[in-house]
Structure 1
């Protein structure tokens, strides 16, 4: 399968006012900071939004954004399978901020952790727990640590993350149905 088209940071900055920007990170990540004017449609909800994204794509260029570019590439592939053309932001919001651009943070938004930080905390906790239980209780507990290590290697090789997919299902990382409906309504108005 081909890699989706990507826009460089400077191209995105210059065209931001004319792009339809969809952020596919979790609602918690989105609330922690997003590109100005972007709408949040989490990757696991993209199928539900296909009709509205198709209508938006008929009116303008669609840019899909995530933290690093991996989830936005997956979203672009899903859209392409449904005959919707979209590009991804090269390097995601991490590259955007590294280039000196600000992310929009709504007033009163709760402090949140990005998905990568959540994955690092969870993986580190399970590895440490496996090692400690392996030393203090029974060596078989070290299988936990080995399982996480294998999962991280697989994640790097396939550019997917099963742990992130599981963490995205936690209530803090899931959109309220009303929030998604409001987002889709806003997308229809663009």
Structure 2
């Protein structure tokens, strides 16, 4: 059972854009983060994310290029996913605490029922600070072994979160519900936030 932490860890995270940590994404390995089903795993081959479109609650089409210049926490979920009940409120709080920072929290629903299912879930669980993004046809993500649409992000389970750096490169992923309020999560996100869009560590002004 994961323990929910206070916002103290995020006081450090909020300073990440102007403070260089001892480790950064352009050099050594990121700090360890464990989820309910596994730990954060670096991809063997870092690659730019393809600009596969998904939609917003307003019906607008966007892609990951919309968030270029920010670190992206891309989380795939569905209304029928039991662990998502735990994780989504934590992502909502993270989005609220990091408003205006260089982190984009992007939860993409793969629920086949689309907006009605996602909107009902948000209302039922009081989610107010997360955007709603939809991929009911799984053009962006696919379940392992069923990549019939040539989608990019493998779903080894739900929820699953990928981290993209400021250049839009897919760096790694973590499966299962994650305590995004934990100190370990703050350290991992700080690791990527402390690197600028040219891949160099940011320094204090």
Q: Greater helix percent: which structure?
A: 1
Q: Work out whether the TM-score is over 0.5.
A: no
Larger radius of gyration: 1
Q: Shorter-normalised TM-score: what interval?
A: 0.3 to 0.5
User: Which structure exhibits the higher relative contact order, with contacts defined as CA atoms closer than 8 Å and separated by 6 or more residues?
Assistant: 2
* TM-score, normalised with respect to structure 1: 0.35
Q: Greater strand percent: which structure?
A: 2
* TM-score, normalised with respect to structure 2: 0.34
